[in-house]
Amino acid sequence: MFSLAAIAVLAATSGVARADEPADFIGDAKLFYRVVACGGSDALPAGVDQALVDRHCEIMAKRYDEFHKTYSAPAEAFFQPLRPADLPTTVVYPFGGGDLGSALVTYPNALDITTISLEHAGDPSRLAKLSKSQLRESLSNYRDAIDGLLELHDSTSENMRKLEVGGIPGQLSFHITGMTAMGYEPVKLLFFSVNDDGTLHYYSQAEIDAFGKKIAKKIKGGWVDTDFSPAFTNMELTFRKAGDPKAPLVVHRHIAWNLGNKAYKGSGLEKYLEAKGKIAAMTKAASYLIWNDGFSGIRDYLLAHMTWMVSDSTGISPRYAKKGGFTQKTYGIFTGAFLDDADPNVSDAMVKLWADQPKRHLPFRYGYPDKDKHVHLMITEPKK
């Protein structure tokens, strides 16, 4: 285990390596782990206000307790007897911005996790440079934004937009928080781009420096621009169970991409996902986009590659699940779509799906509630 003083030095020198070697920002990741996500108990580096961090971590401890009580503990007990024993350890979570924690709750044996959303990962190097007042403000903004993830188990688009700028970027901080909440510690943090052939290119420090003052632009119209370098668009976070150097390594990649057909079909991202073979899948609070034929590419990918999928009602519609050779088992209550602009025909089909099955208890919220605030969940799996 590094001391935080050593981490501060490591953060400042993380790019010192062969010119073509991927730049590892593990020093910055460990600083996020200790200061933002409140993981571990290492002494803080000089210049970081102890009292400020202690107050922040007191608040975070209460939120972690609530997260475990209302979500991770009941969800782990719920999923354990339902998950097939031969599930792939590769998980794909489209529209999964900031929600690594839910992936680990749903698939605790996962070793390879991919989340995809419109948000950039964010610059990890700013945290170490914040003044006391800047750190206070950044931690306050972070807590306001993380509230939904830890209490409602979802990160809203509005919260994600707010943290596309600033000293504590949303995707990086949310994913490290989810990892920390589930008892893990960071081991490596790299940044990469997706090649047209689906392979990944990891940035060296020289390549990151070469971007200079260039700023990454929003992935989709109507979203928000960042104030981060394009180098910090996609992240790869490797982690393991805290305090156990022999524990299996888990690799999580967050990729900022528009999953609409125009940007997805034929893209490097599509080829990257295809190369993974069979997967376990999940999605929730996904704005019902998978219902939309404008997102048929990612829907078709899931139907062709998933062996098991957990979702709220924003997952695969009954029509396409049946056509793809899947059955769907429902939990909780669903009386209609949470968002007013969701396709009413698919919403009605979902209502019928729930109505035609026995009512099965669901002891936690998983994604959106329905229009009447009922919690609900469905499992999509191949027909026996």
Segment 283-314, tens digit of pLDDT: 999 999 999 999 999 999 999 999 999 999 99
For all residues of the chain together, what is the average pLDDT? Answer: 91
Question: Which helix (H) or strand (E) segment is 16 a member of?
Answer: none
- Specify which residues 234 forms β-bridges with: 192
| 8 Å CB contact between 139 and 36 | yes
Asked, for residue 104, whether it belongs to a domain, the answer is yes
- Say if residues 117 and 110 touch (Cβ distance below 8 Å): no
- Decide if 88 is inside a domain: yes
pLDDT digits (tens, 9 = 90+) for 143-190: 988 887 676 655 555 555 555 667 898 899 999 999 999 999 999 999
Burial class (CB in 10 A: 0-12, 13-18, 19+), 311: buried
List beta partners, residue 192. Answer: 202, 234
> Is residue 145, in this structure, part of any structural domain at all?
yes
Question: At 230, which helix (H) or strand (E)?
Answer: none
Rounded CA-CA distance 173/206 in Å is: 25
Q: What is the pLDDT of residue 1?
A: 41
Residue 348 placed within a domain? no
Amino acid at 214: K
Number of domains in the chain: 1
The pLDDT score that the predictor gives to residue 113 is: 98
d(CA 269, CA 256): 10
CB 115 within 8 A of CB 259: no
Residue 116 lies in a domain: yes
- Give the pLDDT band (50/70/90) at residue 223: low
The vertex-24 CA angle with 279 and 202, nearest 5°, equals 55
Domain membership of residue 200 (yes or no) is yes
Q: Is the pLDDT of residue 13 over 50?
A: no
Of 206-210, 220-224, 303-307, where does mean pLDDT reach its minimum?
220-224
Q: Residue 8 falls within a domain, yes or no?
A: yes
- Choose the weakest-confidence range: 70-84, 138-152, 268-282, 306-320: 138-152
Q: Which residue has the tokens 């229009």?
A: 371
- Going by the DSSP 8-state scheme, the letter that residue 22 receives in this structure is B
pTM for the full predicted model: 0.92
Domain that holds residue 82: 4-257
**What is the rounded distance in angstroms from the CA atom of residue 75 to the CA atom of residue 14?**
38
Q: Please give the angle made by the CA atoms of 240, 244 and 246, to the nearest 5 degrees.
A: 85
Q: Would the pLDDT of 229 be above 70?
A: yes
pLDDT-derived band at 49, boundaries 50, 70, 90: very high
DSSP one-letter string for 232-273 = GSEEEEEEEETT-TTSPPEEEEEEE---SHHHHTTSHHHHHH
Instruction: Give a yes or no: residue 19 inside a domain.
Output: yes
Let me know: does 39 contact 33? Beta carbons within 8 Å. Answer: yes
Q: Residue 20's pLDDT is what?
A: 84
CA torsion angle 269 272 278 279 (round to 10): -60
- Distance CA(189)–CA(79), nearest Å, equals 29
Site of tokens 């990890």 = 124
Region 103-127: mean pLDDT is: 96
Instruction: Name 355's Cβ contacts closer than 8 Å, sequence gap at least 6.
Output: none
Contacts of 152 (CB under 8 A, 6+ apart): 365
Give yes or no for residue 28 having a pLDDT over 60.
yes
Q: How would residue 10 be classed by pLDDT, with cut points 50, 70 and 90? A: very low
Pick from 160-169, 303-312, 315-324, 338-347: least confident: 160-169
